[in-house]
Amino acid sequence: MTSNGAFTVVIKSTLRAVCDAGPIIHLDELNCLDLLIDFQEILLCDRVWKEVRRYRPLALKDSDLSFTLLPGGIPGNLPLLTMCQIFMLDAGETETLSLMEKNPQAIFLTDDASARLVAEQMGFKVHGTIGILLRSIRRRQRKPEEVIQILIDIPLKSTLYIKSSLLGEIILRTKGEFDL
Amino acid sequence: MKTIQTQIPEQVYKKAIALVREGWFRDEKEIFSEAIRRFLDTHRPELMEKFIRDDVEWGLHGGD
């Protein structure tokens, strides 16, 4: 609710997301898994589902999020399959990219550099945990101060590894953007 | 050459040994060394930094 008593309605994004295990695990570690609610649909392959269930069993159980589980399979596109092999992507990443192949308009969420490189080469739109966190300000899911605190907490609370100087730069940039 | 000690999943080790037995590699050390080299090739710091910077731009100013 705004200061004049009016409600601000934020319409859910029309974006569909195909998600690798990394962002789900990292967002859950940071108590931010709810940020994915903003996406129209979140597609997961079986293998990623199992990986998340293994590392963060409560993430999928307690969450209000609904995931669409789909069989991943091997990419039918030969260049994509070859790149997955050259870049030694694991089975979860390969199956997730196979889902992207079938849903090319979706956004691919991953924190793995190799998977991201392959996805970008295929022309897919790709982002990771940092992008989702910062996007939550723009999408009015979190206040800038909250996101800055979450960014500060990353080395302490999550297994997302990011160079400390770069993280510091991102925090400063975010503060600057919102005059904090 | 540097010698390191680490732990890897049993299944990964078995697959590496199978490759050696089949004659594709001299020994398991060669496999792990090659695997790390390839991993480092695809995880260049400047590339990872670029990805994060792209994320920041999208997060703060994306149009979706």
Phi-psi bin for A164: left (phi > 0), alpha (psi -120 to 50), beta?
alpha
Residue for token pair 């999943």: B9
For residue A1, is it within any domain? no
User: How many structural domains compose chain A?
Assistant: 1
For residue B22, is it within any domain? yes
For residue B3, is it within any domain? no
Check B52 against A134: CB less than 8 A apart. no
Alpha-carbon gap, residue A135 to A26, rounded angstroms: 15
Q: Give the pTM.
A: 0.84
Q: Which residues of B touch A15 (CB under 8 A)?
A: 64
Q: Does A150 touch chain B (CB under 8 A)?
A: no
Q: Does A109 touch chain B (CB under 8 A)?
A: no
Spatial CA neighbour of A56 closest among A161, A160, A134: A160
User: How many structural domains compose chain B?
Assistant: 1
pLDDT exceeds cutoff 80 at B33:
yes
For residue A38, is it within any domain? yes
Q: What is the pLDDT along chain A (180 residues), one digit of tens a residue?
A: 455 666 566 677 888 999 999 999 999 999 999 999 999 999 999 999 999 988 888 877 767 788 899 987 888 888 888 888 888 888 899 999 999 999 999 999 999 998 999 999 999 999 999 999 999 999 999 999 999 999 999 999 999 999 999 999 999 999 999 999
- The per-residue pLDDT of chain B, averaged, comes to 91
Quote the pLDDT of residue A148.
Answer: 98
Alpha-carbon gap, residue A49 to A33, rounded angstroms: 14
Check A135 against B56: CB less than 8 A apart. no
Quote the pLDDT of residue A119.
Answer: 94
> Could you list the residue range(s) of the whole structural domain that residue A117 is in?
13-180
For residue B4, is it within any domain? no
Alpha-carbon gap, residue A67 to A65, rounded angstroms: 6
For residue A152, is it within any domain? yes
Instruction: Find residues 16-35 of chain A whose CB sits inside 8 Å of chain B.
Output: none
Q: Which residues of B touch A112 (CB under 8 A)?
A: none
For residue A4, is it within any domain? no
How many other CB atoms are found less than 10 A from the CB of residue B17?
A: 14
CA distance A99 to chain B (A): 21
> Could you list the residue range(s) of the whole structural domain that residue B28 is in?
10-61
* B41 vs A130, residue with greater confidence: A130
Check A88 against B42: CB less than 8 A apart. yes
CATH of the domain at A58: 3.40.50.1010
